[in-house]
Amino acid sequence: MEIVLYAISALLALALLFGAILGFASIRYKVEGNPIVDQINEILPQTQCGQCGYPGCRPYAQAIANGEAINKCPPGGQATVNALAGLLDMEPQTLDAEGDEVPVTRVAFIREAECIGCTKCLQACPVDAIVGAAKQMHTVLADECTGCDLCVDPCPVECIEMRPVAVTTRTWSWPLPPNGALIATDRRGQMS
Amino acid sequence: MALINSRSSIRAGQTSPHKLALNSTQRVMGLLVLATLPGLLAQTVFFGWGTLINVLWCVLIALGCEALVLKLRQRSLAVCLSDCSAVVAGVLLGLALPPFAPWWLSLVAVSFAMIIGKHLYGGLGQNPFNPAMLGYVLVLISFPQEMIAWLPPMGLEGHNNSLSDAAFAIFGSGVDAVSMATPLDVLKENSSLTINELWQANPVFDGMAGRGWLWVNVAYLAGGLFLLWRRVFTWHAPIGMLVAITIMATLFWQGSGSDSHGSPMFHLLSGATMLGAFFIITDPVSGATSNRGRLIFGVGVGIMVYVIRAWGGYPDGVAFAVLLMNMAAPTIDYYTQPRTYGHHRANKGMPKRD
Amino acid sequence: MNAQTKLIATSERKIWPLTGGVHPAENKHQSTGMPIASVPLPETLVLPLLQHAGTPAEPVVAVGDKVLKGQLIARASGVVSAALHAPSSGVITALESRPIPHPSGFSEPCIILTTDGADRWCELAAVNDYRRLPPAELVARIRDAGISGMGGAGFPTALKLSSGLPIHTLILNGTECEPYITADDMLMREQAQAIIAGAAILQYVLGAGQCLIGIEDNKPEAIAAMRAALAESVDADKMEIVVFPTIYPSGGEKQLIQILTGQEVPSGRLPADLGMVVQNVGTAVAVKEAIVDGKPLISRITTLTGAALQKPHNVHALIGTPAHHLLQQAGLHESQLSTLVFGGPMMGFSVDRLDIPVTKTANCLIAATQAEFPAAPDPQACIRCGHCAQACPSSLLPQQLYWHARAENYQQLLHHNLFDCIECGACAFVCPSAIPLVQYYRASKGAIRTLEAKQAQSERSRARYENRLARMAQESAEKEAKRQANAERAARLKAAKAQEQVAEDDPVQAAIARAKARKAAGAPAKVALSGEQKELKIQLSMARAQAKKTERALSACVDDETTKKLTSNLAMLNEQVAKLEQAFEGGSAEVQAEEKRVKIARPALSDDEKKRKVELAMANAAVKKLQRALDGASDDDAATLKQQLADAEQRVAGLKLALEGRL
C-alpha cells in the first residue's frame, strides 16, 4: 500500500513540476502572432468581389475564422484554398465554383464610346479603380482593377466588359513541363 | 517563301539544353551490375555455385514482380523494365542472401522488396527505404535459421562447389549441406578464447578477415572503386562508412583478449562491409542528397554497423543500419543543404512559415 | 595541344576552380574555319523595340520617314532601356508587331525598315581623345549609342557603367563557354586591338585600376591575338589576359568572377558591390566604335553554325536582319533543318520561324539537324542520383528543387535558393533520366514572380478598399452632420423670422440674410436643372464658372476696386438687360437691373464689414443670374431666356426679401 502512495506522490510531484515549467514557458516565451483573421485576410486575394457571399474579403476572413468553408473564393482559385488549408491545418477542399479552376486574370474594360457617365460603376468599385465624374466618360485603372465583376451589372448601358489580361513577352514564363505530375511512363500507361 | 514565314517542321518550344550528355538511368544501372561482377565471381569461387544461382533466380523474381506490378499499374513494361533498376535490386539481394538459401526464401525476400519496398511507395525513385535491404531484413528476422547458415568457404571441409548440389539445395528439398557460421558470428559468440586461440581453433578464420571473406570484400572494393572512377556516385557515403567502422573498431578493439571485438581490418574486410559501402548505401533514392548529407549518412551507417556487430543481436548489421539511416535521411537532408554561391551560410531546417 | 598547355603555363595569375560544371562537346571548330564575313544588305530589317533587358524603346520615327544609317529611330524610354538606330539607310515602312526572338514565340512591336541599298551614313560625332571628356559624358555617349550587353543578357551597358559604386576591376569576358558559339573567339582573333581600345575606354569610364581579360584555354588563336594586341597597347600595364581551363559555364558573370578572383557575388547583389564590372568583349568593341568612331550599335558578329549549314561561319550581321537571310548565306539545307536555336545549345531557345530578326543579343544561330539536336527523350523517374548537384555551378540541389517544383511548394523552393539558379542547364545536361530540370525552374520562378506580383496587388487592393471604406464612412458622417446643421439652421431661421421686424443691423440678422440669399440662389438653380436640356446644363455650368471667377475676383479686391469692378459689371449687366429687353417685351429685366443697381450701390453706403460681405454675396448671385441671362440671350433661345428671366425674377424677389430683412 505504501509503495502505491509513494508512486502516486512521486508522479504528482513530477506532474506539478512539469506543469510549473510549462506554465512558466507559456508566459515567458509567449509568441505574439497575427490574429488568425489577419492571417486569413492576407491569403485572400482582396478582390472584394463578394462572390463568397460576404461583403468583402475581411468579412469572409472573419467568417472562416468562425468556421466558414474555405473554398468559396473563386478569384483566388485552388491556390488560395490550398494556402488556407495549410494555414488552418485542414484538408484542402476543392474550389466551390463552376467553370475554370485556374482563374484567368481579367480586368474590367469600359467601352468609352458607349459610356454615358452615370457614375454607377464608380460607386460599385470596391477599390476605386474607376475614374470619372458625372457626365464624364469613365475609365478603368487596369493596374488597380481586381477583376471582381462588381461594376459590370450596375452599368445601365452595358458598356463594361471583363477582358483577360494579355500575356506579353515580359509577363510570359515557361509552363511546367507537360503532365508535371506524371512521368513519361505514366503517360504511356494512360494511353495503353 | 513558305519556309520563311512558318515552318511547322521546325521544332520549337523545347527548353534548353538542346543536347544532353550521353547519360541514362540504364547506363547507371548497367555500370552498377557490371561492378558487382568481381564480387559475384569471388563469392562463387569461395562459396560455391549457390551464389550465382541465387543471383540469377533473384533477378528473375525481381523482373517478374516488376512486370506484375507494372501490369497492375498499367505502365509500359518495355520502358520501366529497361531501366534495369529491378535487375540491380535482384542482383544485390542475390549476393546478400546465403548461397544455399532455399528458393522460397529468395522469393519472399525479392517479392517483398519489389512489391512492398518499391512499388507500393510509388515505384522507382519514390521509396524511402532501400528495397533490397527491406527484403533482406524481412527474411532475416522471419527465417533466422536459414539466413545464418553460410557454407564453409573454399579450402575447408564441407566446401561444396558442385553445381547440381547447389541447384538441388536451392530448388530441391534441400541438401544436407554442411552449414557453418560466418567469422563475424563466431567472433560474436566467442567469450572464452583469445583472438589467437580463436584463429587457431576455428578453421573459418584465416588471415585477417576470415577465409574467403577477405577476397570477397576486396572484390567488392574493386567494383566500388570502378564505380567511383566512372563517377556513378561520389566518395562521400562509402568513405564515411568505412572510416566510421575503422574508427569504431579501433576505439573498441579491446586488444586480442577474449572480449575483443576484432581488429579494424577484420571489420573492414569481413561480412557485408564492402558490399554495403559501395553497393547498398550508395543507393541514391533512399539515401541522403547532398555530399555532406551522404557523408553523414555513411558515417551513421558505419557506426551502427559496428554497434550491431559488437553489441547487437545479429552478427552483421549492414541491413539494419541502412534501414535506420534511411529513416534519418530526410532529416539529414534538411540540415545539410550545401552553401549556395553568393550566400554566407547554408540554409538549414524547414523553410520558415511567415 | 602543345601551344595550349604552354599558354596556360605562362599565365602566372592564380585562378580559382569553378564549382561544378560540365564538359559538353564543344563543336566550335566548324565555324572558325573562315574569317568573319559580311552579308549582302537585306531588303527589309525588322527592329524589335525590346532587344535588351528592361523597358522597350520608344519610336521617334513615323511610317514613311526616310532614315540614314546610324540615325536614331527609337529612344530609350526609361532608366533600364536602350536606344535603337537604323542599321542601314532606307524608309520606315511599318511600325507593327512581328515575331521576335523569344522562347514564347510571341510578337512584339517592331520598326520595319526597307533598305534603299545606298547604305548612307548619317553624320557621326567621333571623339578624338576620349580622355579629355569626363566619364559621365562618355557614359551618355554609350547610352546614346544604344549599347546593351552583347553576351546574351542584354543589360544596358551605360547602366552598368554608372552604378555609382567604386570600381577597381574591369573584367572582360572572352570566355564563350557555350558550345558551338565562336563569335567572341573570332572577334578576338580579328579585332583584338579594338577590344583592347574598348577596354581602355571602359577602364577610364569606370576608374578601374585593373582589367582582367578572361579567356578559356580552348581558344589558343584568340589568346595569341589578344596577347599580341595587348603588347602593342599603351595600356598594357593595366590589363592582364587570364587563361583558364575550359569548363561550362565559366562564362557566366558570377562564375567568371569566381574563377578570376575567388570572390562570390552576394546573392541578390551586383558585381559592382564587389567593385567589379564584367563586360563582354563584343561590348568593348561596341563601346570603342561608339566613342572613337561615333558609330551607334547597329551590327554584331553572329555565329552561323549547325549541321544543316553548308559552310558554318561568323558574319557581321546588321541588327534586324532576318534569320533566313543569314542562313542562306551559310548555305542552309532546308530539308535537313530540324531545330533553329538562337544562342547556344545549353542556354539558347528554339524558334519555329525563319523570319525572326537578329537582335543585339543574338550571338549565334544554330541550324541543327535531327541527329544533332534530337528531340528530348521522355523523362523518366528521378532516382536522386545527384549528378545534377555535382554539375551545379551554384551549389544548389537540383534534384530537391525539381521535387519541390513538381509539388509547387514555393516556400521550399525559396528555401533551396531557387533564385540563385542561373539556368545554365548543366543539371539537365547530365540528368540520366532526361528530366527537363531547367524548365521546371523557369516555370517555378515565373509562378513565384506572378504570385508575388499578385500578393503585392492584393495588398494594394486591400489598402485601397480600406481607404474607400474610411472615406465612405467619413462622407456619411459629414452628410449626417450637414443634415443636422441644416435642421438647426431651419429652426433658427424660423426663430429669426419671428424676430425679423424687431431686430435691425444685427450680425445674426446678417447671417440669416445670407442664408436666405443662398437659399434664394439655390432655388432657381434647381429649376434650371429640372429643365433636363443638355445645352442648358452646359450653359449653366459655364455661367457658374464665370460667376465663381467674378466672385473670387470680388472677394480678393479692396473696396475701391471692388466698386470699380462692380460698376463695370453693372455696365455689362445693363447691356445684357438691354439685350434681354430687346428679346423680350416684358419689363421684368429692367426691374432686375434696377435691383442690381440698388444692391451694388449699397456696399459703399454701409460701414459694417460683415454687412458688406453679405452685399457682395448677393451681388455675386445677381451677377451669376444675369450672366446666365446673357448666355441665353446670345443663344436666341426664347424658352431658355424665359426660364432665366423667371429665375431672375425669383431671385430679385429673394434679394428684396433679404434686403428688407437687413434693413
Answer yes or no: do B284 and B172 share one domain. Answer: no
| Shortest distance, CA C254 to any CA of chain A (angstroms) | 23
Q: Range with the lowest mean pLDDT among A88-97, B283-292, C251-260, C383-392? A: A88-97
Answer yes or no: do B131 and B248 share one domain. Answer: no
Tell me the pLDDT band of C179, cut-offs 50, 70 and 90. Answer: very high
Residue B170 lies in a domain: yes
Answer yes or no: do C264 and C404 share one domain. Answer: no
Handedness of CA C66, C67, C69, C74 (dihedral sign): negative
pLDDT at C524: 46
pLDDT at C633: 54
Cα–Cα distance between A175 and C337 in angstroms, integer? 26
Structure-block grid coordinates of residue A128: 476605386
- For residues C169 and A169, which has the higher predicted lDDT (pLDDT)? C169
Cα–Cα distance between C348 and C22 in angstroms, integer? 17
Over residues C471-496, mean pLDDT: 92
Helix (H, G, I), strand (E, B) or coil at B124: coil
| Shortest distance, CA B22 to any CA of chain C (angstroms) | 8
Cα–Cα distance between C165 and B336 in angstroms, integer? 36
Residues of A in contact with C378 (CB under 8 A): 184-185, 187-188
Cβ–Cβ < 8 Å for C340, C350? yes
| Shortest distance, CA C61 to any CA of chain A (angstroms) | 23
Cα–Cα distance between C581 and C623 in angstroms, integer? 17
- Whether residue C566 is predicted with pLDDT greater than 70 in this model: the reply is no
Residue C329 lies in a domain: no
Answer yes or no: do B241 and B293 share one domain. Answer: yes
Cα–Cα distance between B270 and C469 in angstroms, integer? 79
Answer yes or no: do B157 and B218 share one domain. Answer: no
Give the total number of structural domains in chain C. Answer: 3
- Whether residue B149 is predicted with pLDDT greater than 60 in this model: the reply is yes
Tell me the pLDDT band of A72, cut-offs 50, 70 and 90. Answer: confident
Answer yes or no: do B186 and B174 share one domain. Answer: no
Residues of A in contact with C380 (CB under 8 A): 183-185
Question: Which residue, among B4, B8, B16, B234, would best test binding to C if mutated, counting the most C CBs under 10 Å from its CB?
Answer: B16
Helix (H, G, I), strand (E, B) or coil at C67: strand
Cα–Cα distance between A67 and A70 in angstroms, integer? 9
Tell me the pLDDT band of C507, cut-offs 50, 70 and 90. Answer: low
Please identify, among B147, B180, B213, the residue that sits at the C-terminal boundary of a domain: B180
Residue B133 lies in a domain: yes
- Whether residue C572 is predicted with pLDDT greater than 70 in this model: the reply is no
Answer yes or no: do B173 and B30 share one domain. Answer: yes
Say if the Cβ atoms of C465 and A56 lie within 8 Å.
Answer: yes
- For residues C588 and C179, which has the higher predicted lDDT (pLDDT)? C179
Over residues B207-236, mean pLDDT: 87
DSSP for C20-38? S-B------GGGSSSPPEE
Answer yes or no: do C443 and C507 share one domain. Answer: no
Answer yes or no: do B148 and B267 share one domain. Answer: no
- For residues C300 and A170, which has the higher predicted lDDT (pLDDT)? C300
Helices (H) and strands (E) in chain B, counts: 17, 0
Cα–Cα distance between C265 and A83 in angstroms, integer? 34
pLDDT at C23: 93
Residues of C in contact with A126 (CB under 8 A): 465, 468
Tell me the pLDDT band of B87, cut-offs 50, 70 and 90. Answer: very high
Residues of A in contact with C406 (CB under 8 A): 176, 180-181
* H or E element at residue A17: helix A2-28
Q: What is the CATH number of the domain that holds C23?
A: 3.40.50.11540
Residue C113 lies in a domain: no
pLDDT at A177: 84
Nearest to B137 by CA among B329, B318, B327: B318
Say if the Cβ atoms of C267 and B341 lie within 8 Å.
Answer: yes
Structure-block grid coordinates of residue B265: 581490418
Strand order in the sheet with C90-99: C44-48, C107-115, C90-99, C66-67
Tell me the pLDDT band of B262, cut-offs 50, 70 and 90. Answer: confident
Answer yes or no: do C144 and C272 share one domain. Answer: yes
pLDDT at C312: 93
Q: Is A48 left (phi over 0), alpha (psi -120 to 50) or beta?
A: left
Please identify, among C449, C467, C486, the residue that sits at the C-terminal boundary of a domain: C449
Residue whose C-alpha cell is 543579343: C361
- For residues C272 and A148, which has the higher predicted lDDT (pLDDT)? C272
Q: Is A66 on the interface with C (CB under 8 A)?
A: no
Structure-block grid coordinates of residue C80: 533600364
Answer yes or no: do C517 and C400 share one domain. Answer: no
Q: Is C375 on the interface with A (CB under 8 A)?
A: no
Please identify, among C250, C268, C294, the residue that sits at the C-terminal boundary of a domain: C294
Say if the Cβ atoms of B14 and C375 lie within 8 Å.
Answer: yes
Cis peptide before A126 (omega within 30 of 0): no
| Shortest distance, CA C620 to any CA of chain A (angstroms) | 26
Non-local CB neighbours of A176 within 8 Å, separated by 6+ positions: C405, C406, C439, C440, C443, C444
Cβ-nearest to A184 among C379, C458, C459: C379
Tell me the pLDDT band of C268, cut-offs 50, 70 and 90. Answer: confident
- For residues C263 and B352, which has the higher predicted lDDT (pLDDT)? C263
Give the total number of structural domains in chain B. Answer: 2
Tell me the pLDDT band of C237, cut-offs 50, 70 and 90. Answer: confident
Q: Range with the lowest mean pLDDT among A90-99, C279-288, C458-467? A: A90-99
Residue C200 lies in a domain: yes
Cβ–Cβ < 8 Å for A192, B74? yes
Answer yes or no: do B150 and B205 share one domain. Answer: no
What are chain C's partners, defined as 3 or more CB pairs within 8 angstroms? A, B
Cβ–Cβ < 8 Å for C103, C109? no
Answer yes or no: do C519 and C419 share one domain. Answer: no
pLDDT at B144: 85
Strands C90-99, C66-67: pairing kind:
antiparallel
Structure-block grid coordinates of residue C10: 605562362
Tell me the pLDDT band of B298, cut-offs 50, 70 and 90. Answer: very high
Tell me the pLDDT band of C523, cut-offs 50, 70 and 90. Answer: very low
Answer yes or no: do B230 and B220 share one domain. Answer: yes
Please identify, among B145, B163, B180, the residue that sits at the C-terminal boundary of a domain: B180
DSSP for C89-112? SEEEEEEEEEE-S-TT--EEEEEE
Burial of residue A47 (CB within 10 Å: 0-12, 13-18, 19+) is buried
Answer yes or no: do B156 and B239 share one domain. Answer: no
What is the domain range of residue C167? Answer: 1-31+125-294
Please identify, among B164, B180, B196, the residue that sits at the C-terminal boundary of a domain: B180
Residues of A in contact with C460 (CB under 8 A): 144
How far does chain B reach from its first CA to its final CA, in angstroms? 57
Tell me the pLDDT band of C559, cut-offs 50, 70 and 90. Answer: low
- The percentage of chain B sitting over the pLDDT mark of 90, rounded to a whole number, equals 44
Beta-bridge mates of residue C148? C156
Q: Is B80 on the interface with A (CB under 8 A)?
A: yes
Answer yes or no: do B144 and B215 share one domain. Answer: no
Q: Domains of chain A by range and CATH?
A: 27-103 (1.10.15.40), 104-168 (3.30.70.20)
How far does chain C reach from its first CA to its final CA, in angstroms? 116
Answer yes or no: do B171 and B214 share one domain. Answer: no
pLDDT at B150: 76
Instruction: Kindly report the average pLDDT of chain A as a whole number.
Output: 81
Residue C98 lies in a domain: no
Over residues A41-49, mean pLDDT: 83
pLDDT at A191: 38
What is the domain range of residue B209? Answer: 182-336
Over residues B18-41, mean pLDDT: 89
Residue B167 lies in a domain: yes
Q: How far is CA B2 from each of CA C104, C277, C324, C336, C352, rounded to the nearest angstrom?
A: 21, 45, 12, 16, 13
Angle at B159 between CA B156 and CA B164, to 5 degrees: 170
Residue B343 lies in a domain: no
Residue B188 lies in a domain: yes
Over residues B270-275, mean pLDDT: 88
Say if the Cβ atoms of A44 and C458 lie within 8 Å.
Answer: yes
Cα–Cα distance between B85 and B72 in angstroms, integer? 18
Helices (H), A29-56: 36-43
Q: What are phi and psi of C55, to 5 degrees?
A: -95, 150
pLDDT at C546: 54
Residues of C in contact with B118 (CB under 8 A): none
Q: Range with the lowest mean pLDDT among A23-27, A45-49, B284-288, C53-57? A: A45-49
Non-local CB neighbours of A191 within 8 Å, separated by 6+ positions: none
Over residues A21-41, mean pLDDT: 83
Cβ-nearest to C383 among B79, B125, B339: B125
Encode pLDDT of C307-344 as tens digits.
999 999 999 999 999 999 999 999 998 888 989 999 99
| Shortest distance, CA B84 to any CA of chain C (angstroms) | 12
- Whether residue C530 is predicted with pLDDT greater than 70 in this model: the reply is no
Cβ–Cβ < 8 Å for B244, B189? no
